[in-house]
């Protein structure tokens, strides 16, 4: 059975005190829930990772990083390598987020190298992809996402997928308050699963979790999560508010 996953992407928010507080609020609230097939992940900023890892001990919550550099080490001022993340106990990293693409010039080729570096270090990857508003308006969303998947994932080996989580994040829905309809999400998730099935086989496609991201909130989570191919969510804004994040976890 595919794992259900609710992951919170905190982006550039929260110092260590807020991190500790927010994690404790979440872990206390979910302690009594039955989360047998559900993973809960939070992704704080680099500086809060160690605090977060400490704070989630003995709870159901896991910690992910939001980014990393593709090189092993070297003269890359300000960057963090996969090995460094592993050294503090990080097991999962978000890669390919649209904000990285939009503001930091990351493209498919670079993201593919980051994915390789993460997998080589046994890090699990939450790989984000999605179309722009213009592409959706032109009805090119499937084509665009198909091409992103091809450029970033098709060189992988089938066994790499045990360490891959996919996250469909339509760029027009991120931080905008606008959400894809459950039908739009389902259409894309089924398409993505089919692309993976064609390239890597049905077994891999059936076992890979595909999350939806883009303005998921307590009021829309349940409907989106009810779709067959939606295995959870990558949550931005709403994951910064404990009661909202917990309500989204309850929705799954």
Would you please indicate which residues are annotated as catalytic (active-site) residues? Answer: 97, 169
How many degrees, rounded to 5, is the angle at CA 243 between CA 67 and CA 28? Answer: 85
Q: Does residue number 216 form part of the binding site for ligand PGA (CB under 6 A)?
A: yes
Build a one-symbol-per-residue string for 18-37: x at contacts with ligand PGA by CB under 6 A, - elsewhere.
Answer: --------------------
How far is residue 243's CA from residue 29's CA, in Å, rounded to a whole number? 8
Site for ligand PGA in 34-93 (CB under 6 A): none
Q: Does residue number 170 form part of the binding site for ligand PGA (CB under 6 A)?
A: no
Report the residue number, 1 or 12, with the smaller CB distance to ligand PGA: 12
| Cα–chain center distance at 99 | 13
Q: Does residue number 14 form part of the binding site for ligand PGA (CB under 6 A)?
A: no
Least distance (Å) between residue 79 CB and ligand PGA: 21
How far is residue 249's CA from residue 252's CA, in Å, rounded to a whole number? 5
Residue nearest to ligand PGA (CB): 236
Task: Give the count of beta carbons closer than 10 Å to the beta carbon of residue 246.
Answer: 20
How far is residue 236's CA from residue 238's CA, in Å, rounded to a whole number? 6
Among 174, 205, 208, 224, binds ligand PGA (CB under 6 A): 174
How far is residue 152's CA from residue 185's CA, in Å, rounded to a whole number? 21
Chain residues in the site for ligand PGA (CB under 6 A): 9, 169, 174-175, 213-216, 234-238
């Amino acid at each position: 059975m595919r794992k259900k996953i609710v992951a919170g992407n905190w982006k550039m928010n929260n110092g260590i005190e807020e991190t500790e507080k927010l994690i404790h609020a979440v872990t206390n609230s979910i302690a009594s829930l039955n989360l047998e097939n559900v993973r809960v992940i939070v992704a704080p900023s680099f500086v809060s990772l160690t605090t977060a890892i400490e704070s989630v001990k003995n709870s159901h919550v896991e910690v992910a990083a939001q980014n990393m550099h593709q090189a092993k080490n070297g003269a890359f001022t300000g960057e963090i390598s996969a090995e460094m993340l592993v050294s503090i106990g990080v097991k999962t990293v978000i890669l390919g987020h649209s904000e990285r693409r939009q503001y930091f010039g990351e493209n498919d080729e670079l993201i593919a190298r980051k994915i390789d570096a993460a997998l080589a270090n046994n890090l699990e990857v939450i790989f984000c992809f999605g179309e722009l508003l213009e592409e959706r308006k032109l009805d090119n969303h499937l084509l665009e996402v198909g091409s992103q998947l091809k450029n970033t994932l098709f060189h992988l080996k089938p066994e790499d997928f045990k360490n891959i989580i996919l996250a469909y994040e339509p760029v027009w829905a991120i931080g905008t308050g606008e959400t894809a309809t459950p039908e739009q999400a389902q259409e894309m998730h089924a398409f993505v699963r089919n692309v993976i099935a064609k390239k890597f086989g049905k077994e891999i496609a059936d076992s890979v979790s595909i999350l939806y991201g883009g303005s998921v909130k307590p009021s829309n989570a349940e409907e989106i999560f009810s779709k067959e191919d939606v295995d959870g969510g990558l949550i931005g804004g709403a994951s910064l508010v404990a009661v909202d994040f917990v309500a989204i976890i309850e929705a799954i």
